Amino acid sequence: MIVMTTQHCQSQWQSPVVEITKNDTVGYGFVHEEANIIQNKDHLDPFFEKLWLQRTQGGRKINVVHIGDSHILGNYLTREVRRRMQAAFGDAGRGVIFPYKLINSNGPEDYLIATSAKWSGTNCVRDQDGVTEYGISGFSAVSNSTGGSITLRLRDTTSETTSMFTKVTVFYRNNGDAPEFTLEDDNTKQVAVPVIEDNLSKTFYFDRPVAECTIKLAKSSGKKEFWFDGISIDNERAGVIYHSIGVNGARYGDFARAKYFARQLKEVTPDLVILSFGTNEAQAKPNPAQMRKQMDELTSQIVAQWPHACILLTTPADSYLKGKGFNPHLPEISATIKDFAVKKGFAYWDLYQVGGGENSAENWKTNGLMSSDSVHYSKTGYAVQGKLLYTSLMNTYNDMVRKKMVTAGSDGK
């Protein structure tokens, strides 16, 4: 069946306060839900202000970009936050996706990929050059099959629902030797209209909503390589787009070395950028000075390209050292992230402490919330972390709203 994602109403009768229900809590005694708050929260005021305007007036599009390692790549944690935020503020689209299976990587389960071309590619972690040729997804897929195609369909294989969209941004390298391409939907017989283009992206619009789109590469003589960095899906409605970007094994430095990452990131005009790294940095003896340098490089690149973005750093959840036992490095890694956030004025969310702190991975594991490798989490475990991130954001948002209501003479209820 096809289920069209509907716009959630933001009419003025709706309370600006987002209700936190029992379903939003996790119910594990070892999780410190009472400490589940955003620190340095004032840095996020512009983001929360825009959420408030969307909740009370409508007409706003809010872009959240969540970047990280394998914990983010699978989309289990971010899917939980996305679903809940879009229920509260409106669904504006899926955001950035990439055809991971074409280059033999795992990826999310809420869209399907098909192609008639041959592809090769890798990611910013596997490539250890000083500066790497990667963009918004941290991956690149390359094809020289002129006349080939790649089709992306927003069909969730877990719920068997299909979402619709009208706006598509293709991230690629228009280096003068790239093949021409069109964006089409064979089901509705539409050819999307290109409206905005530069040498790193091209944005198209369909007249009517579609559930899938096909990039069709023009046939040409001679060798022409098409470098594909990802695609962003937008339904042109008000609400939240929650982009999820991750690479297995990623550290801060891997995205900082990616030449086109921040340049393409600005095309989605992020209101909030969430950076979730640290697990891989903690798999060896920490080097805090080097880590701070890499964090500074990445955040500086983001702010330089899009200074309107708020920054939220998260500490990693506890995990075993190389899957074998207590990891003594995670406290120092978490402290380095928090110290950097405080000194730079960024917000941070301390998942390490909220999740139970030192050696808490044992509790997660005995409750079936971790995978067999004791570094990654189960689907349920990631859903728990997603709930925790969502409630920390919404509790902070609600605090701001209640202060507004008290100032306006309301009791905040």
Residue 348: give its domain's CATH number: 3.40.50.1110
Q: Are 79 and 111 in contact (CB under 8 A)?
A: no
Q: What is the mean pLDDT of residues 26-41?
A: 94
Same domain for 350 and 304? Answer: yes
Q: How far apart are CA 262 and CA 340, in angstroms?
A: 20
Question: If we measure between CA atoms, which residue out of 205, 148, 143 comes closest to residue 173?
Answer: 143
Q: Are 243 and 169 in contact (CB under 8 A)?
A: no
Same domain for 277 and 326? Answer: yes
Q: Are 298 and 254 in contact (CB under 8 A)?
A: no
Beta bridge partners of 278: none
- pLDDT reported for residue 323: 86
- Asked whether residue 408 carries a pLDDT value surpassing 70, the answer given is yes
- Asked whether residue 136 carries a pLDDT value surpassing 80, the answer given is yes
Same domain for 46 and 147? Answer: no
Biggest distance spanned by C-alpha atoms of the chain: 71
With respect to residue 12, please indicate whether it lies within any of the assigned structural domains: no
- pLDDT reported for residue 412: 47
- pLDDT reported for residue 346: 98
With respect to residue 328, please indicate whether it lies within any of the assigned structural domains: yes
Same domain for 258 and 403? Answer: yes
With respect to residue 353, please indicate whether it lies within any of the assigned structural domains: yes
B/e letters for 287-314, b = 16+ CB within 10 Å, e = fewer, are eeeebbebbeebbebbbebbeebbbbbb
Helix (H, G, I), strand (E, B) or coil at 256: helix
* pLDDT per position as a tens digit, 316-357: 999 999 888 899 999 999 999 999 999 999 999 999 999 999
Same domain for 196 and 294? Answer: no
Same domain for 112 and 79? Answer: no
Could you tell me if residue 363 is left (phi over 0), alpha (psi between -120 and 50 degrees) or otherwise beta? alpha
With respect to residue 255, please indicate whether it lies within any of the assigned structural domains: yes
With respect to residue 378, please indicate whether it lies within any of the assigned structural domains: yes
Q: Are 136 and 171 in contact (CB under 8 A)?
A: yes
Q: What is the mean pLDDT of the chain?
A: 93
Q: Which amino acid is at 228?
A: F
- Asked whether residue 48 carries a pLDDT value surpassing 90, the answer given is yes
Same domain for 278 and 351? Answer: yes
Same domain for 247 and 396? Answer: yes
- Do you know the residue count of the chain? 413
| Strand ranges for 82-153 from DSSP E | 91-93, 95-97, 112-115, 120-123, 139-143, 149-153
Q: Are 248 and 16 in contact (CB under 8 A)?
A: no
Q: What is the mean pLDDT of residues 99-108?
A: 93
Same domain for 254 and 356? Answer: yes
* Residue at which a domain ends, from 179, 211, 237: 237
Question: If we measure between CA atoms, which residue out of 272, 271, 286 comes closest to residue 316?
Answer: 286
Burial of 249 (0-12, 13-18, 19+ CB in 10 A): middle
| CATH for 112 | 2.60.120.260
Angle formed by the axes of helices 45-56 and 76-89, nearest 10°: 50
- pLDDT reported for residue 7: 44
pTM comes to: 0.94
- The tokens of 229 are what? 């960095």
- The tokens of 193 are what? 């209209």
With respect to residue 354, please indicate whether it lies within any of the assigned structural domains: yes
Q: Which amino acid is at 192?
A: A
- pLDDT reported for residue 146: 83
Same domain for 46 and 154? Answer: no
With respect to residue 338, please indicate whether it lies within any of the assigned structural domains: yes
* pLDDT per position as a tens digit, 364-380: 999 999 999 999 999 99
Same domain for 389 and 255? Answer: yes
Provide the number of structural domains found in the chain. Answer: 2
With respect to residue 9, please indicate whether it lies within any of the assigned structural domains: no
- pLDDT reported for residue 316: 98
* Residue at which a domain ends, from 194, 213, 237: 237
Same domain for 106 and 231? Answer: yes
Q: Residues 6 or more apart from 50 whose CB is under 8 A from it? A: 60, 62, 271
Domain of residue 289 covers 24-90+239-407
- pLDDT reported for residue 312: 98
DSSP labels for 191-220? EPEEEEE-SSEEEEEEEEEESEEEEEEPP-
Q: What is the mean pLDDT of residues 285-289?
A: 96
* Residue at which a domain ends, from 184, 215, 237: 237
